[in-house]
Amino acid sequence: MDAQMKKGLLEVCVLASLKGGDSYGYQIVKDVSGYIEISESTLYPILKRLDSGGYLTTYTSEYNGRLRKYYKITPSGCEKISEFVREWDEIQRVYRYILEVDNSDQK
Amino acid sequence: MTKNEFLKLLKKKLRLLPPQERQRVLDYYSEMIEDEIEAGHSEVDAVSRRGSIDAIAEQTLREYIAERSEGETEEDEKNKLPTSGFGKRLAIAVVSFPIWLPLYAAGWSVLAALFASAISCILAGVVRLAPSVMIILTDGAAGWFQVGICITALGCGILLGCGSWELTKLWLKMTGWLCRGIRYSFRKGVAV
C-alpha cells in the first residue's frame, strides 16, 4: 500500500479504536493490527501527530503499581472519522474510474 | 537482553533527539515491554519482540526529522522565507560568529580564573599554616590570627574549587548540547 495512503488510514484506524474508549499503546496495536499492518514504532509518530493536531489527548494513570499513558479521542478526532466516512463515496468513485481505465487498457 | 539494557541502548542511539522527546520515546517502549510482560511473556521475550534497536532508532529519528521538517516548512511558507534551512543556519552561524566565539571563550576564561583563585587560596593557606603555628610560640594572639586566616583561605579555596568544578561540568554539558544542536541542524533534510 502507498505510504501516504497507509499513513492516512492508520490515523483514522487509531482514532476509530479510541472511539470505543480510552486506550493505551499496546492495546491500540493489538486492536488495529487485526485490520491493517501496524507496529509500535509506526504507532508512536501517529499518536504524536494526532496529539499535536488536537485529535486526541493523553493522560497518565496508575496501573498495577506503574504509570500508563492513556489516549482519549477529542471531538476533532471524532469529526476526522466522520470526514473519512463521508469521503468514502468519493474514494469509491475514483477507485471505479481507475479500475475502468485499467481494465480497458488491458483489453 | 533485559528491559533496562534495551532502554539504555535505545537511549544511546537516540542521543540526537532533544532530551524531552527522547524520554517520551523511552517511556513509550518501556510501557510496551511492561504490557507485554503482563500479557504473559518473559522479560527477555518481551524485549526481543520489540525488534532491532537500530531499526527503532532509525525510524524514530527519521519520523522526528520528517515531522520537524514538515512543521517548519509550513512555517516557512507562512513567513515566506526564501532561503533553504541549511543555508540559513549556515548564514546565522557565520554572521553570529563574532558574538558566540568570544562569549564561549569568555566562559572558559572565567572558569580558568575561578580555578586559579581556588588554587591560590589553597596554596596560600597551606604554605602559611606552618609559619603561623611557629608564630604562636612567640606571639600567641598574632599566631592564632594568622592560623585563622590560613584556615579561612583553605576553606574558601576548597569551596571555590568545588564550585568551579561543578560550573566546568555544566559548561561541558552545554558545549555538548550546542555541538549536538549544530550537528543536528546541519543534517540533511532539517529545514528552518
- A18-31 pLDDT per residue, tens: 999 999 999 999 99
Please state, for a pLDDT cut of 70, what percent of chain B lies above it.
86
* Encoded amino acid at A79, one letter: E
- Average pLDDT value over all residues in chain A: 91
- Read off the pLDDT of each residue in B57-62 and give the average, rounded to a whole number: 88
- Read off the pLDDT of each residue in B108-135 and give the average, rounded to a whole number: 89
Q: Output the furthest CA–CA distance in chain B (Å, rounded).
A: 84
Residues 38..57 of A with a Cβ closer than 8 Å to B: which?
Answer: 39-42, 44-45, 48-49
- Average pLDDT value over all residues in chain B: 83
Which among B96, B29, B92 is positioned nearest to B57, based on CA atoms?
Answer: B29
CA-CA distance, A100 to B3, in Å (whole number)?
53
Q: Please report which residue ranges of chain B form alpha helices under DSSP H.
A: 3-13, 19-38, 43-48, 53-79, 85-95, 97-138, 140-185
Q: Which of A40, A50, A61, A71 to mutate to test the interface with B (most CBs of B within 10 A)?
A: A40
Query: At which residue does the C-alpha cell 509506526 appear?
Result: A42
Which among B119, B39, B109, B184 is positioned nearest to A25, based on CA atoms?
Answer: B39
Which among A26, A53, A81 is positioned nearest to B49, based on CA atoms?
Answer: A26
Predicted pLDDT at B85: 62
Predicted pLDDT at B77: 55
Whether B163 has a pLDDT exceeding 60, the answer reads yes
Q: CA B124 → CA A70, B111, B180, distances in Å?
A: 62, 20, 41
Q: CA B52 → CA A4, A14, A64, B59, B63, distances in Å?
A: 24, 24, 28, 11, 17
Confidence of residue B69 (pLDDT cuts 50, 70, 90): confident
Q: Which comes out higher in pLDDT, residue B98 or A29?
A: A29
Q: Does A6 touch chain B (CB under 8 A)?
A: no
Whether B186 has a pLDDT exceeding 90, the answer reads no
Q: Which comes out higher in pLDDT, residue B101 or A80?
A: A80
Please state, for a pLDDT cut of 70, what percent of chain A lies above it.
99
Q: What is the rounded end-to-end Cα distance, in angstroms, of chain A? A: 25
For the ranges A30-44, B84-98, B143-157, the lowest mean pLDDT is seen at B84-98
Whether B47 has a pLDDT exceeding 50, the answer reads yes
- Read off the pLDDT of each residue in B43-72 and give the average, rounded to a whole number: 85
Burial class of A77 by CB neighbour count within 10 A (0 to 12, 13 to 18, 19+): buried
Predicted pLDDT at B88: 72
The alpha carbon of residue B67 is apart from the nearest alpha carbon of chain A, in Å, by: 8
Q: Which of A10, A31, A41, A51 to mutate to test the interface with B (most CBs of B within 10 A)?
A: A41
- Using an 8 Å Cβ cutoff, are B11 and B28 in contact? no
- Using an 8 Å Cβ cutoff, are B42 and B48 in contact? no
A–B CB contacts, 8 A cutoff, strictly below = 40
Query: At which residue does the C-alpha cell 470526514 appear?
Result: A83
* Residues in chain B within 8 Å Cβ distance of A24: 31, 35
- Partner-chain contact B31 A25, CB within 8 Å: yes
Q: Residue B17: what are its φ and ψ, rounded to 5°?
A: -80, 150
- Of the CA atoms within 13 Å of residue B76, those in its CB half-sphere come to 15
- Using an 8 Å Cβ cutoff, are B175 and B183 in contact? no
ipTM beyond cut 0.90: no
CA-CA distance, A11 to A13, in Å (whole number)?
5
Please state, for a pLDDT cut of 90, what percent of chain A lies above it.
62
